[in-house]
Structure 1
Amino acid sequence: MPNFYSDKAYNGTETIVVAMDIGTTQTAVSFAHFSPGTRTQGKMVARWPQGNCNAMKIPSIISYQNGRVKACGAEAVRDLEEHPQNVAYWFKLHLHPAAMATSNSQRFEIPSLPMGVTIERVYADFMRYLIDNTRQFFESTIPQGAEIWARLRDTIVVVFATPNGWDIREQATLRTAAIRASLVTEETADQLVHFVTEAEASVHYALANQNGNWLKEKTVFAVIDCGGSTVDTTIYRCASTNPLVLKEACPSKCVQAGGVFVDREVEKVLKTRLHGSPFNDPECIRSMINSFENDVKPIYNGIMEDEVFRFGSVRDNDPSRGINKGKTTVSGEDLKRAFDAVINKIIENCFQPLTSNKVKYVILVGGFAESPYMRNFLRKILEPHGIQIILAGDSLMKAAAEGAIIGRIKQFVIARAVKATFGGCVRECYDKRLHRERRHTVYLYPDGKQRVDGAFHAWVTKGTILQGTFAHKLPYHLAWDAGSTSKNELSSKLTTVEIEIFAWEGDGVPIWCKDETGNVLNGMRPVCILNADLSALSGGLQITTGNRGKRFYRVDYNVCVYFGGTQLHAKLQWKEKGLPREGPVMVIPYIT
């Protein structure tokens, strides 16, 4: 990100923003000092322990000894080779939601974490290492950096770039880890910890580093971020070029596929070959995979002949299994199958959205996008459909980390597509046509209306394009029989007013979210619970007459769903003594 500046002087509150992209195999950090009256500059952290002076990326590795952190990044690589049981690597895979797993990846064996270490602990320890080195780099590269960092330390905004497929559970883990790492406090976490999808971060990176003038008004293009373990596809429509304004054309896609899955496919080949051999042990296999990672994978283009993997000394020989002087050969055909097994999953995930939205360009970013074979494969599939591949940026960079900061400086994306249908679980008025299958569950509610439980009330439907003007209020009410409920009883009942939020990722809008016994139906995903304490209203409630002359106490409240910044928010609202009141705000990760 050399000398990436904002177009105009900043006029907001002084702050530091740090963006972290903790990838499966590589990690990078960028930052920017937002100072009133100056043009904000984004920088990559380019100095890490035991790395070269221009290292923009470090290995996502952390080693432990006797329950304590021993080393991180490049300093932990030797521990991975010598004591892998004490090292957390590819740990991002432990956080991937089950919904992201493909039929291929469901059989994928995730490396175990060191004994007694949780995934939250790993992230917290790694974040602490990242922020410490970011501080050192900031202080040494920014004029008066030490004084500025000390002054703004407690208000630093931390942005995490995450896969499109991550949701509220994964974000909660990162937020808790950030608290544990002392990046933020429990009191400030909701304000200072932000999230951006890797795809959105990458589009800011790609457009800041674009070549040529291919992007014009109404152009539809996609960014495919090919990472270590996930591949994210997001499609944009250019609404304006001056200033540059982008809108998502449809919900983004995410598939659990990427560079590490190719490694595992090659590992299967090696284990099959070495079965029964003394060389079929974890250390030898790991050495072979490292050889593949460093020497073969970056240059494999699909037309090469057999490839040699180095793993041992000249004394290591087993002619019956093709091992000669610490080297073994893997056929070009086996390598091609390993790559194809992963890339076919990517094509299955992105092909239909690309063609149905008439995408003209695909920008490739991410570590796996550096593979010549990957690029050639995509060209062969997409170019017959009029889709041109564009390569963006420098392979030394990590697109999501750099793009996350560029996105804070230049907000190209102003509208995003909802990835699922979100709504609440409600007591719905009985409709003979819609609810016939549950007519035997109908009951008379205190307001005198016939109702059924477990109905799904959609608030925002899948594919809706959201931008800053979106806000939606939905009226609800609660009722209690005036003849059998006292005002004292109401006070206790009103302390736990809540409504469950669910997500439906299929097509259409379902009628139900729970079955007749209250169990969540297949395909419905619980997101969060909106809650509020309305007990202060109990003393002022008046008796109301409803249908069929039913006398009841009634409490009215609203669910407010609104678009704030880059996130969807929801909260309960009500009036207390004529004044507006609201409950805690819940963030709905609608684009992740």
Structure 2
Amino acid sequence: MAYLQKAVNARVVICSIDVGNSTSSVSFLYAEGKDEFKDLKNKVYRVDNWPDHREKNVLIPSRLCYLDKKPYLYGENARRPGRRDKKWVLVESFKRQVNSLESNDVSDLDRGDFDPFPQGVTLRDIYRDWVTFLFNAGSKAFLESRNGTDVHADLWRKRICVFVVPNGWNEPEQAHLRELLHEAKCVEDCNNIRFARESEADLHYGLFLGFEKLTRPVNLSFFICNVGSSTGDLGFYKVTNTNPLHYEEVKPADSMCLFPNAPIII
């Protein structure tokens, strides 16, 4: 990606956020001008330390509890309320309910398959609250991992945020996500937000791990299948150039739901 290529020539902090149906993750990259592009993989910091979580894990469950319209518990700690906690409301699988973020619509299918949201809390509120938690917890863990090595204040202020989005989300959804990510303080400048479709992220992750060695012949066609806990992505690509390496999407990537009768619009 272009923003990673720029990292070879200048200092930059990049934050990547992936909100999944079941789990979410956050990663950071602090690259300096002296870094070789091939060495950046070893500098990626995957956040594994979450507030009030006993065990470290790079994946955190995508769920949160609300109390009086405010987020109260996150991740592993968020659970269905017991008899003593009747005022809590658990929210999970909210990504599967998304139609678009400009409204509180969740699906044009049967709404009865989902638990109700807390009264007065919209889907956009939930997304913003969850992303705010992810970034705040992630940035704190990342900065602490620097072991006293300062990240220059101006460099941190100009950080880039890469947000992974479903394949079907285009300009309308991305416009609302820009506002949401700015409200969550992931960036100070909306121009520093980049989006990567899930299938595109799969491809680049494979390249990051050395996948390009298998795709050298020009015109070679291949597909990438990413099977998650509740959805699967299938993308078809073709090698169009090898120096520099370039791929073309042969067919727009599709996402599919893996659970029968589970509404999902992406």
Q: TM class by shorter-chain length?
A: 0.7 to 0.9
Gaps of 5+ in 2: 101-107
Equivalent position to 2:20, from 3, 23, 29: 23
Q: CA contact under 8 A between 2:15 and 2:161: conserved in structure 1? A: yes
How far 1:37 moved relative to its partner?
2.0
Q: CA contact under 8 A between 2:81 and 2:88: conserved in structure 1? A: no
Equivalent position to 2:60, from 37, 58, 61: 58
Render the CA deviation track for 1:232-270: whole Å, top value 9, x for unaligned. 322111234565332212222233x13xx25x77xxxxx
1:160 maps to 2:192: no
How far 1:144 moved relative to its partner?
3.7
1:114 maps to 2:109: no
| TM-aligned CA distance change 1:23 to 1:245, over 3 Å | same
Distance 1:157 1:9 in 2: 11
Q: CA contact under 8 A between 1:96 and 1:166: conserved in structure 2? A: no
Gaps of 5+ in 1: 1-5, 98-104, 266-341, 343-591
Distance 2:192 2:5 in 1: 25
Corresponding residue number in structure 2 for 1:277: none
| TM-aligned CA distance change 1:212 to 1:119, over 3 Å | closer
1:249 maps to 2:253: no
Corresponding residue number in structure 2 for 1:138: 142
Distance 2:227 2:47 in 1: 22
Distance 2:6 2:182 in 1: 34
Q: What does 1:54-453 align with in structure 2 at a 5 Å threshold?
A: 54-77=56-79, 79=81, 86-96=89-99, 106-107=109-110, 109-145=113-149, 147-148=150-151, 150-185=153-188, 188-189=189-190, 191-209=191-209, 214-217=214-217, 218-241=219-242, 243-255=244-256, 257-258=257-258, 261=259
Distance 1:80 1:141 in 2: 37
Corresponding residue number in structure 2 for 1:11: 9
Q: CA contact under 8 A between 2:66 and 2:88: conserved in structure 1? A: no
Structure 2 letter corresponding to 1:36: G
SS in 2 for 1:254: strand
State the TM-score, normalizing by the size of structure 1. Answer: 0.38
SS in 1 for 2:151: helix
State the TM-score, normalizing by the size of structure 2. Answer: 0.78
How far 1:54 moved relative to its partner?
4.0
Distance 1:169 1:7 in 2: 27
Q: CA contact under 8 A between 2:7 and 2:31: conserved in structure 1? A: no
Q: What does 1:476-495 align with in structure 2 at a 5 Å threshold?
A: none
| TM-aligned CA distance change 1:106 to 1:67, over 3 Å | closer
Distance 2:154 2:231 in 1: 38
Structure 2 letter corresponding to 1:124: R
Render the CA deviation track for 1:401-459: whole Å, top value 9, x for unaligned. xxxxxxxxxxxxxxxxxxxxxxxxxxxxxxxxxxxxxxxxxxxxxxxxxxxxxxxxxxx
Q: CA contact under 8 A between 1:62 and 1:71: conserved in structure 2? A: yes
| TM-aligned CA distance change 1:16 to 1:212, over 3 Å | closer
Q: CA contact under 8 A between 1:235 and 1:252: conserved in structure 2? A: yes
Report the number of matched residues: 247
| TM-aligned CA distance change 1:131 to 1:92, over 3 Å | same
Distance 1:166 1:231 in 2: 16
Q: CA contact under 8 A between 1:23 and 1:228: conserved in structure 2? A: no
Q: CA RMSD in A?
A: 3.3
SS in 1 for 2:109: helix
SS in 2 for 1:236: strand
Structure 1 letter corresponding to 2:118: P
Q: CA contact under 8 A between 2:238 and 2:248: conserved in structure 1? A: yes
Q: Which runs of 4+ in 1 moved over 6 A?
A: 6-9
Structure 1 letter corresponding to 2:64: I
Structure 2 letter corresponding to 1:60: S
The percentage of aligned residue pairs carrying the same residue is 26
| TM-aligned CA distance change 1:92 to 1:250, over 3 Å | same
| TM-aligned CA distance change 1:169 to 1:211, over 3 Å | closer
How far 1:197 moved relative to its partner?
0.2
Structure 2 letter corresponding to 1:206: G
Q: CA contact under 8 A between 1:139 and 1:149: conserved in structure 2? A: no
Corresponding residue number in structure 2 for 1:268: none
Q: CA contact under 8 A between 2:18 and 2:26: conserved in structure 1? A: yes
Distance 1:80 1:34 in 2: 46
Distance 2:6 2:170 in 1: 34
| TM-aligned CA distance change 1:74 to 1:150, over 3 Å | farther
SS in 2 for 1:251: strand
| TM-aligned CA distance change 1:200 to 1:16, over 3 Å | same
Render the CA deviation track for 1:79-130: whole Å, top value 9, x for unaligned. 5996596122111123235xxxxxxx93462332211111121122112211
Structure 1 letter corresponding to 2:232: V
Structure 1 letter corresponding to 2:65: S
| TM-aligned CA distance change 1:130 to 1:69, over 3 Å | same
Corresponding residue number in structure 1 for 2:105: none
Distance 2:91 2:152 in 1: 30
